[in-house]
Amino acid sequence: MQPDEVWGERWSSATLPIAKRYMTVATEKQSLVCLAADRRTMGGLFELINEVGPFIAALKTHVDLIEDWSPSEWADFCALAHHHNLLIFEDRKFADIGKISRSQMTGIYNISAWSDIVTAHLISGPDVVDGLQTAWKEVNREGGVLLLAQMSSRGNLLNENYTNTVVRLGAVHEGVLGFIGNGSKPDELVELRQKVGQQKMIWTPGVNREVGDGEMGQRYGDPYDAVIAGSDCIIVGSGIHGAEHPKTAAQSYAQISWNALLSR
């Protein structure tokens, strides 16, 4: 199957190269899964990617969680991710003014050198996106920003008004790959998709085959329902890395998400 057949308007109207890269990888691997690789050691990360790499399309990192992080081991880790044809997504949730966000893409972790995707809150205004895109351009790389339009955690402050503004500003910004939506609430996702339209992506955390409340205010919805409601990528963390058999779990999430996309 070719990506344009599977993704329809999302493919034909995508403007960012990284959007097409994601859709191509997801089609090749028949998986709409982004693994939230929330492990605290480099060894743990390597082990996880070696096990589930073939069944996921993207890899979401929190680089500042890793206790024994080093630039050389990280370079090896990124090489392993590329070997598995994975997009690398640093979930940094940038939120500062444009020029500081741009600088925060460098520094000790040098995020602009290896990330394909990063997250940002739009609380400081649209210049945060320009700052992040400038950082990628400065190292001759291309990337895309996912703006937090909704969150999966209970009691979050991203009310409907805020979501609407983020979508209105983000939908017309060429540096924006798409939005983070709340995977735990399919009804809210349907509404979000209506607001976003067909061009931009919606990626959803808060997804688990075991629907309900998670740890410390996290909430989970069903992976199939999320894709049917309009999600283009399910972000799954503990559903995979916390499973007894991460490989089997990853295969299962891949199959569910792919079947849902075909049905959609």
Complex with ligand S5P: residue 12 or 41, whichever CB lies closer = 41
Residue type, 158: L
Complex with ligand S5P: residue 131 or 237, whichever CB lies closer = 237
157 burial via Cβ count (<10 Å: 0-12, 13-18, 19+): exposed
- 224: helix, strand or coil: helix
Least distance between ligand S5P and beta carbon 251 (Å): 17
Least distance between ligand S5P and beta carbon 247 (Å): 17
DSSP string, 20-78: HHHHHHHHHHT--EEEE---SSHHHHHHHHHHHGGG-SEEEE-GGG-TT--HHHHHHHH
Least distance between ligand S5P and beta carbon 21 (Å): 20
- Known catalytic residue at 60: no
- 71: helix, strand or coil: helix
Q: How far apart are CA 26 and CA 34, in angstroms?
A: 10
Closest among 61, 123, 136, 69 to 92, alpha carbons compared: 61
Annotated catalytic residue within 93, 137, 195, 247: 93
Nearest residue to ligand S5P by CB is 237
- What number of helices (H) and strands (E) belong to the chain? 12, 10
Complex with ligand S5P: residue 126 or 239, whichever CB lies closer = 239
Cβ neighbours around 199 below 10 Å, total:
16
Question: Which residues of this chain interact with ligand S5P, rule CB under 6 A?
Answer: 36, 38, 91, 119, 151-153, 180, 205-206, 214, 218, 235-239
Complex with ligand S5P: residue 66 or 235, whichever CB lies closer = 235
Least distance between ligand S5P and beta carbon 209 (Å): 11
Complex with ligand S5P: residue 36 or 229, whichever CB lies closer = 36
- Determine contact, residues 222/191, Cβ cutoff 8 Å: no
Least distance between ligand S5P and beta carbon 148 (Å): 6
- Determine contact, residues 53/87, Cβ cutoff 8 Å: no
Active-site residue list: 93
